[in-house]
Structures are given as structure tokens and as C-alpha cells.
Chains A and B, each alone.
Chain A
Amino acid sequence: MNDSGSNPAEGTRTLVIERVFPHPPEKVWRALTESPLLTQWLMNNDFEPVVGRKFQFRSEPVPNWDGVIDCEVLIVDHLKRLSYSWSSLGADFVVLWTLTPAEDGTHVRMEQSGFGPDHQAAYKGAKYGWQRFFDGLERVLGGSAG
């Protein structure tokens, strides 16, 4: 089992967590896509693995946060990829799960990238995308951007 945190080279744009689970992709896929199973390890939800489906993750409200994460299913690629948008507190992310069969189980990669549609558009050629922005600011921020 390996476990990696956010990739320093990616700066603050993208958070990547990877781990190999000693279980077949079919089983991991169920844990990621069956609502009652998702509830057990992630959060209460009304998820359905249907592209375009809007759903919510709900956790205990805390001060300054109602505990609600608004999502929409973006990709359902059976046993391989699952993606949904993830919005709370005015910050929009995209969560992408990628499953790859490994010798002794399944390699699971979770990528949470910011910051919504504008961010995506920025990647596609706009002059001041987040990538360039953070790359440039890393120097200004010194070590604190890692």
C-alpha cells in the first residue's frame, strides 16, 4: 500500500491521493458508486452513477458551514473513471477517481482540482490560468505554497 499526498509540483491547484487496495476493481467501484456504501466511508449522499445527475454530500453543519456539498456527476466510465463536481462555500472543485487494476488489487487515484468551469477554461489557453498563476506566485509565497 502506498499513499501519496498532494504533489508539490502541482502547487495548490490539485490534490492527489493514491493508494493500492487489495481488492478487485469491481468491489472498489461498488464502494465508490453505491450510495449506501458511499455513506459508510465518505458522507451521507443521494448519489447515483448517472452523468448529469445533481446530488449532495451532507455532513454535520458547523459554524460558517451548512455541511452541504453540491455535486453533479460528470463522468461514469464503468470500473475505470468516476468524476463529479464538488462545490461548497463558493469554491468549485472537480473530483476525479481513476481505478487501475494492479497486481494485487486496485490502484485508486483521487484527484481534486480547483476551481470550477473558469479554471477549466483557463487551462484551455486563457492567458492567466491558475497554473501560471500559482507557478508565478510560488516564488512570491516562498515555501508556504507547497
Chain B
Amino acid sequence: MTPDKTNLGTNYVFRALADPTRRAIFEELARHGEQTVHALTGYAGVSQPAVSKHLTVLKRAKLVRHRREGRETHYRAQPDALTPMVDWLRHYGAFWRDRFDRLEVLLERMDP
């Protein structure tokens, strides 16, 4: 069974990106590079505490990194963190192809 390749990192990535606002924030950072929480708040259309909370979830999934500069925190996307998710879906491809082979064998054996 293929999901044995899955690790907790994948799980965090899926959960982090299950929320449309977090996807939007991540996408914005991936497209336009590093930004402050303040700038992201304007973009996301939700309160600054809400944006900070979303960023914490993204950070835990290693989808974003941050650095402090003076009183501002700057965030940037880490698209490489998506790799486990992409890999996981690839494993599902191998999984289903294998099961299709088994289905074919079974169909041969079954009564008409």
C-alpha cells in the first residue's frame, strides 16, 4: 500500500492548504515574493490576527519562512514543501495501476 511513503509533513501540508484563505496567502507569496504581515492583511481581506494565525499554520507545514526586520515580520513561500504532496499523488498513481492489474486478473478468473 502506497501511503506508507507518507509522512507527517505531507499531512501538515494537506491540512494547511485545505483552507482557501491559506491557499490564497501561500499563492500570493509564491507569486509575488516576500511580504509583510501588514501587506498580506490588505490582500487577504481578513484581520491581521487572522492572517498571523494562518501564517502560523503555513509555517508549521514549512510552506512559508519568516524573518524579522525591525518591527515587521516578512514572510516568503517555500514551494518545495509541496513536493511531498506531489510525490504522494504520484504514489497513488502506482497504487491504482497495480490494482488495475489485479482487477484484470480477477476478471479473468470470475465466472462470466
Interface residues in chain A, defined as those with a beta carbon under 8 Å from any beta carbon in chain B: 3, 5-6, 12, 15, 17, 19, 21, 23, 27-28, 30-31, 37, 40-43, 59-60, 62-65, 67, 88-91, 108, 110, 112, 114-116, 118, 122, 126-130, 133, 136-137, 140-141, 144-145
Contacts and interface: CB of A to CB of B under 8 A. Distances in A.
16 contacts: A5-B93, A6-B90, A41-B99, A64-B4, A65-B3, A67-B1, A90-B11, A90-B15, A110-B100, A118-B18, A118-B20, A122-B20, A130-B23, A133-B17, A144-B83, A144-B86
B52 interface: no
Interface residues of B, number: 43
Interface string B34-70: 0000000000000000000000000000000000000
Contact of A141 (B82, B90, B102): B82
Nearest to A14: B89
